[in-house]
Amino acid sequence: MKQSTLRMSAAVLLGLLLGTASNAQDANKINVVTSAVPFLRISPDARAGGMGDVGIATSPDANASFWNLAKTPFAQSRTSIAATYTPWLKDLGLNDVYLASLAGYYKLDEEQAVSSSIRYFSLGNIQFTDFAGNDLQSFRPREFSIDLGYSRKLGERLGLGVALRYINSNLAGGQAVNGVSYKAGNAVSGDISLFHTGVNEQGAGWNWGIVLSNLGSKISYTSDATQKDYIPANLGLGAAYTWSFDDDNKLTVGADVNKLLVPTPPALGDSAGLARYRNKSVISSWFGSFSDAGSFGEELREFQISGGAEYTYNQQFMMRAGYFYEDRTKGNRKYFTLGAGLKYNVFGLNFSYLIPTGQGVNRNPLSNTLRFSLVFDLDNNTNGSASR
């Protein structure tokens, strides 16, 4: 990243990327629910990315651990690996800001599977300055997570998945800036998920899923115990239906609804509210996130909705489209997506493109960006009960 492009102080960097509680509210009552390590919320899969970030109840593949680990026992292939590269802020001409991911699973038998995934987010090279604009030093902030998971069938059509995740966020390189010593943040979290498939032998039917993800500790970037931040714990609900017109033509339509299990931040200047926000325990913050926005309507605005469709021809060619919606007062992310896929023997290639939306600060960082995933199904087991 060019230093002249992102020449900022450590305070600005941490304020924007950590998602602390000091979110300003304007006359339109904009109050975005934020968290630390927001890279965990970026879609790491070009297939789901082409469907408007729909992935909870779609058919299982190697990237299932990013969406719903409980899908993997129903996968057709016994072993699968996927790698995805997602440029970030490509519209600004930046080439060293990106999200890379690697995921895979191995079915121990027809009832259970183990899996693992890695996400790595590079923020490029940044020149830190003090409040007077004097150069301090440059650094390459980076974040990553690694997880291990286990899933098994609870019945012929129902599966359960659990995962444990380690998160590392190094935004300031352990340096002291303006009298404050910053360190790499560390956290541990877990996922638990359910998946039910009603797909028949012809590949038609309903799937649904429920996912609780990133349930874990707070994360801190200083030695001040009162300045810990919430990680993006999330509740996700998804459903998808597949029509099988004949042996060669299938159409899947799906929708996901997501809700961050993170407290709504207090109004600017509310010191008592900020203290309560900071002092909430992790578990109470999960439950309290459903009733702390001030009204039922405000709580509903904190839900994000995505919908998408996937047309498959001969299990080899896929076309995808989708839409993502977030309320204007909660982040205002709204965008259409397009995608395509090709599968030949054990090799698969997926692309997705986010159609530009918004202007200025509302413009999505993935606008005009082409993402791609490589998928390797290392066998062609056809005994799986869920069709891709």
Domain with 278 in it: what CATH number? 2.40.160.40
Res 187 pLDDT > 90: yes
Residues 148 and 151: their CA atoms lie apart, in Å, by 10
Residues 27 and 212: their CA atoms lie apart, in Å, by 34
387 within domain boundaries: no
139 within domain boundaries: yes
Query: Which pTM value belongs to this model?
Result: 0.84
161 within domain boundaries: yes
Residue 185 makes CB contacts below 8 A (sequence gap 6+) with: 36, 37, 167, 168, 169, 170, 171, 219, 220, 221, 229
Residues 17 and 35: their CA atoms lie apart, in Å, by 9
The sheet carrying 135-139 orders its strands as: 7-9, 126-129, 135-139
Q: Between the ranges 11-25, 84-98, 275-289, where is the mean pLDDT highest?
A: 275-289
- Find residue 108's DSSP bridge partners: none
pLDDT in tens, 30-89: 778 888 999 999 888 999 999 999 999 999 999 999 999 999 999 999 999 999 998 877
Work out whether strand 97-107 and strand 180-181 pair parallel, antiparallel, or are unpaired.
unpaired
Residue 280 makes CB contacts below 8 A (sequence gap 6+) with: 263, 288
354: left (phi over 0), alpha (psi -120 to 50) or beta: beta
81 within domain boundaries: yes
Residue 148 makes CB contacts below 8 A (sequence gap 6+) with: 114, 115, 116, 163, 164
Res 271 pLDDT > 70: yes
Residues 352 and 136: their CA atoms lie apart, in Å, by 39
Mean pLDDT for 281-292 is 88
Res 240 pLDDT > 70: yes
Range of the domain at 338: 7-377
359 within domain boundaries: yes
DSSP class of residue 383 equals -
Single out the residue of 165, 200, 164, 163 nearest to residue 72, CA to CA.
Answer: 163
2 within domain boundaries: no
| Structural domains in the chain (count) | 1
- Amino acid identity of 30? I
105 within domain boundaries: yes
- Find residue 92's DSSP bridge partners: none
Q: What percentage of residues in the chain have a pLDDT greater than 70?
A: 82
140 within domain boundaries: yes
Residue 28: its pLDDT value, please? 52
